[in-house]
Amino acid sequence: MTDRWEQYLYEQHSAEQLATWAVSLRYFRFCRAFGGHAGDGDQLRVALAVDSRDDLDTILAALGIPLTILPADEPRPVAGQSYTGAEYARFRDAIDQFPDVAQPSHVRLAGGKAFAWVSRGRLTVSITDEDDIWSVTDAAVEVARRVEPMIDPIANHVIDPPGHDRHCVCPTYYPEFWAT
């Protein structure tokens, strides 16, 4: 790692804090924001493989996330047509892989806020601070700890790491955190 990268990685949380969080979580990983113009924030993230509709049903049920079926006549945006923000907000996002199912989006898991999204054969669940969606705090880590037992029965679907770069604090990129 470069000094500049380490400065960025540890800007909000020390190496000791990230190591403590890392070893206290089995499935969720701390993912540092890309920053800049990406418009993202730090998150705790887990990814689960969704290879079939049965996988989706099983995973959502294990997490207690309702499966929302979209009716055949569900209004959909038309490519090339412009919409006001309010008009566009009325469209519900469908899962590309399963166009009759709505994206879970903002959900409550184990008493905390989470964001769940299905794309490219995976369901990604992200947790941030309740009051600051750009940050991860001890409270967010506690929510992730409460969600992890829900993942145990579907652990065979876990994709680790959930992100394939140094932004994802996981054994692949930061083995020293798990060396103890």
Q: What is the pLDDT of residues 73-120, one digit of tens each?
A: 999 889 999 999 999 989 999 999 999 999 999 999 999 999 999 999
* CB-CB contact of 28 with 144 (8 Å): yes
Q: What is the pLDDT of residues 12-71, one digit of tens each?
A: 878 888 888 889 999 999 888 765 545 567 889 999 999 999 999 999 999 999 999 999
Q: What is the pLDDT of residues 116-166, one digit of tens each?
A: 999 999 999 999 887 777 778 899 999 999 999 999 999 999 999 998 888
Beta partners for residue 118, in sequence order: 123
Any alpha helices (H) in the chain, and if so which ranges?
Answer: 3-9, 15-24, 53-63, 85-89, 138-151
DSSP 8-state secondary structure symbol assigned to residue 69? B
Buried-state track 29-42, b at ≥16 Cβ within 10 A, e below 16: bbbbbeeeeeebbb
Which pLDDT does position 39 carry in this prediction?
Answer: 58
CA distance 174 to 76: 43
Q: Which residues contact 19 (CB under 8 A, 6 or more apart)?
A: 176, 177
- Diameter over CA atoms, the chain: 57
